[in-house]
Amino acid sequence: MAISCDTVFTHKVWQEEELSKMVPGGVPFPMLSDPGGKIGQAYGVYDERLGLNIRGRFIIDPDGVIQAMEILAPPVGRNVEELIRQVKAFKYVRESKGTEACPAGWEPGKATLKPGPHLVGKVWEIWKPK
């Protein structure tokens, strides 16, 4: 979901006039309004002086635990492909019950790492960064 201090009416216009032109059908998740920034305060992204939430993204697992977060200044855009890649990696690791780890840049179908002492000094044999 997306959350901002904007009103639901602003979200509707943004979805219909902007996002739907960038993403066919618009974004496929709900956009929630956070008037007063209470949710933003809880996540440390509310700027009280400006009265708005700064850009942040959080990957929260089904148990409610934050697995990843990124906070960006407004002039810098986010990388949606990287967000999707990370969600897939966290899902893969969760399904493996922690017996596998996904190195930086991991994509589905690529080699994973099996955490343990046997891996020390040998990661380079398995993981070949670009």
- Contact call for residues 71 and 46 (beta carbons, < 8 A): no
Question: How is residue 18 annotated by DSSP?
Answer: I
In this structure, is residue 67 part of a structural domain? no
Among 79, 80, 68, 71, smallest CA distance to 29 is for 80
Among 66, 77, 71, smallest CA distance to 53 is for 71
In this structure, is residue 62 part of a structural domain? no
In this structure, is residue 64 part of a structural domain? no
For 18-59, the pLDDT digits (tens) are 888 888 888 888 889 999 999 999 999 999 998 888 989 999
Encoded tokens for 54: 């700064």
79 and 130 within one domain: yes
The reported pLDDT for the residue numbered 64 is 94
Mean pLDDT score across all residues of the chain? 89
Judge whether residue 68 has pLDDT over 90.
yes
In this structure, is residue 58 part of a structural domain? no
- Contact call for residues 7 and 35 (beta carbons, < 8 A): yes
User: Domains in the chain: how many in total?
Assistant: 2
In this structure, is residue 118 part of a structural domain? yes
Q: How many angstroms separate the first and last alpha carbons of the chain?
A: 32
Domain that holds residue 84: 75-130
